[in-house]
Amino acid sequence: MKVLSLINDSNRGTIPIVLALILSALSALSGDTNVVEIAALPAGGKIYTNAIITRVTPAYAVVSYQDGLVQIPLNELPSIYQTRFGYSPEKAAQFLAAQKQNQQKQWHAEALARQAAALARTGTNQPVRITAIIDETTFGGIPLCAADGHSDGLLVKNLPGSVRQFLMSYRQLQANVADCERQVNRLKAAETPPPPKTTPKPLAGRPMMMGGSPAPVRTIAPPKKTTARQSAEDRLNALSAELDEQTTNFDHYAAIMAHPTGDFFGQKPIWICTAPPAGAAK
């Protein structure tokens, strides 16, 4: 009988790796435990080293490995693990569909809870500090506003125009201050004086003569601020003072009285403004 060798030069380096993976798999399967440890787990075109299968569902396995935690579909695991975990495409599809349905139920329950909380406060006026207008077109023309204490934002009906004007003015003032600061810094850099020139030393024993008399000692006066830089600094000081004043009086121009209506638009609560800010134009 002639025995054919399965090892040749082309696959001589690959076979030890395959054997190591098989031995690792067999070693992991030998223990009767819910936690499976694999030195090298091939899955989905990758190899997860120092892998530990910590949890298995009908659709995927949760695997901890040297770089973190990953969720691997069972159909990407080697067949030896698919057999052990009883993988079937039908069961996986049913599990994922049920999981999605449960997530949707949870989201729906959370939305109902938010609506119930809003309904409990319906008609109850309270101060709302508007900090920005995020969107005025997406939600049927109702402004989506950022407000203190409301991380997801509020849709505010009857938002006074004075609030819009103040917030636009405030953001523009912030931008003007930043632009003016950059301009002042550029002018300062352009006025950096060159290094002073050195005056040659006179020869020993003989004073340096220029026009028959000793050369006068010249002193270099510090450079004066140019008109452009002085103007930019004056403007920066004025803008900064104005911004400080508006920041101090922010609530005077951006805090309204409002209450939740109990309605939602795109999961955003709708509030209605009942009183403008104290600083609104009469």
Helix (H, G, I), strand (E, B) or coil at 265: strand
| pLDDT score, position 173 | 95
Residue 29 lies in a domain: yes
CATH number at residue 28: 2.30.30
Q: Are residues 41 and 127 in the same domain?
A: no
Answer yes or no: do 57 and 147 share one domain.
no
* Count of domains forming the chain: 2
Task: Find the domain containing 56 and state its range.
Answer: 14-89
DSSP letter string, 88-129: -HHHHHHHHHHHHHHHHHHHHHHHHHHHHHHHHTTT--EEEE
Q: What is the pTM of this model?
A: 0.48
Closest CA to 170 of 257, 258, 278, 244: 244
pLDDT along the chain (282 residues), means of 10: 43 48 46 72 92 93 92 93 93 94 89 70 83 93 94 93 94 95 90 67 54 57 71 93 94 93 89 89 56
